[in-house]
Amino acid sequence: MGILNVTPDSFSDGGRHAGVEAALAHARRMIGEGAGIIDIGGESTRPGAEDVPAGEEIARTRPVVEALRAEWDGCLSIDTMKAEVAAAALAAGADIVNDVSGLTADPAMAGLCAESGCGVVVMHMQGDPRTMQLAPHYEDVVGEVRGFFAERLDALTAAGIDPETLCFDPGIGFGKTVDHNLALLRALPDLAPHDRPLLLGVSRKSFIGRVLGSTDLADRTWPTVAITAWAREAGVRIHRVHDVRPNAEALRMTEAILGAG
């Protein structure tokens, strides 16, 4: 899953791909490097990020979804917590709703996803982007994330969503300390409810820099690749990344070793 931020303020590439032509050029590059899904986001969810009005988020994302859908038949994902934004993207040709709130922020989201039959990414986040990194606390981070996934599976299935359309993301860096993130990475094989697939997003995240003792974003590229290979061995099926080629090559190599290629 290649990350396509069409925002002015995302943590690692804010403003670089804003506008349809710049976004399309980057999407084409990621597809050429092996991305099977393009995840389009119009609102930053970095720590401390402010809310973006739905109309502005739609204005940023819908033209990109429409233009990419017109030239590519791969999977398109809309990264949003708002049902209004998701509905506009689905109408424009998106296939997946990637909701960092786990479909808890907008009460209309579950019904929309059930009606559309789209793919759904259910992510765990403690708090919201404005506050999530102020003081993350868990008694048992692995147990609490696992419990959240089980509750969401039951609730979303009861709301009419086909469980076969669901995958789950532990939300690395979303209301977690370095130790919380590492504990979740160790527990990847045991997190998903009822053997549903896991999605993992660790690309360029700050916990990598803290482990390495570096504030340089460039230093996070190869550790991301290392985590991708580790996560594939642990059973993760979807890997959300900025740098597609090295991560795709790591996946191919890991799968060759596993005999899963």
For this structure, is 240 an active site residue?
yes
- Say which of 62, 152, 232, 240 is annotated catalytic: 240
Neighbours of 124 (CB within 10 A): 25
- Say which of 82, 176, 205, 232 is annotated catalytic: 205
CA distance 239 to 119: 15
CA distance 53 to 90: 18
**Please, are residues 38 and 26 in contact by the beta-carbon 8 Å criterion?**
no
168 phi, psi to nearest 5 deg: -130, 140
For this structure, is 186 an active site residue?
no
Q: Which residues are designated catalytic?
A: 205, 240
